[in-house]
Amino acid sequence: MFFKNKSDPANTDILNKIDKEKIPKHVAIIMDGNGRWAKKRGLPRAMGHRAGVETIREIVKTSSNLGIKYLTLYAFSTENWKRPKDEVNTLMTLLLEFLKKEIDELHKNNVVVRAIGDISQLPRQCIDELDRAYTLTKNNKGLCLNLALNYGARDEIKKAIINIANQVKKGNIGLEDIDDKLISDNLYTKGIPDPDLLIRPSGEYRISNYLLWQIAYTEFWFSDIYWPDFKPIYLYKAIYDYQNRSRRFGGV
């Protein structure tokens, strides 16, 4: 069962150009620009984050309708704790609101909701709601929505190295057993295919410690649109551009 989206002539035009047989399996997005979107309008940063949540709703629906299998959203990084306490509290409150208000609709539409990152450091209420969301939706067969929370790729890789080193130390594996698959299996994204397409709005051109191991052969798509203004048409454009690239994975 798919979500219902309001039709838009502009969306329909670009959507018709997309090859429905070549939809990227995994799309990762760095949701950026909420604060600048608010500042541009003379609004508090909190209003930008709230507007960004509305965009999440739209993009999740659109991704589900397109047949994308995995959507990974960079929601809160390990570095975001450096932000003012009020802003961090706002982000945690919005996460709670999103989970409480949207989980039944997401479940009804066959979406799996899971978190990647060290969520043990989040407020207890957030941890409980994330656990509840995953327990409710884990057997669904549609879109897998991964929320990257208290996530940092360097921290993720460091933890993977420690886990593997401990396995070697205990004699469970030998050094010769360490390969790409073993490393991938010790990351938060175990069992999830690497992203085909990474999108970053807001005019920034950096990766910001996001999925560093997983994006070795990912296609990048950048836009100067702030996240709250990132409508479905931009996702369509990103996918259309992706489909017109040649992915050789180091070959000819």
Query: What tokens does 36 get?
Result: 């600048």
Instruction: Give the torsion sign (CA, 142, 137, 182, 122).
Output: positive
Looking at residue 124, its amino acid is: R
Residues 32, 227: contact at Cβ < 8 Å?
A: yes
Q: Give the residue numbers marked as catalytic.
A: 32, 80
Residues 136, 161: contact at Cβ < 8 Å?
A: no
> Once rounded to an integer, what is the mean pLDDT over residues 84-89?
97
- Structural domains for the chain: 23-152+194-243 (3.40.1180.10)
What does the mean pLDDT of the chain come to?
94
Query: What tokens does 167 get?
Result: 């396995």
> Once rounded to an integer, what is the mean pLDDT over residues 201-219?
97
Residue 12 has pLDDT above 90, yes or no: no
C-alpha to C-alpha distance for 53 and 146, rounded to whole angstroms: 15
Check residue 195 and report its DSSP letter.
P
Give residue 126's pLDDT. Answer: 98
pLDDT class for 3, splitting at 50, 70, 90? Answer: very low
Tens-place pLDDT, residues 155-165? 999 999 999 99
Q: What is the pTM of this model?
A: 0.93
Give residue 166's pLDDT. Answer: 98
Residues 56, 225: contact at Cβ < 8 Å?
A: no
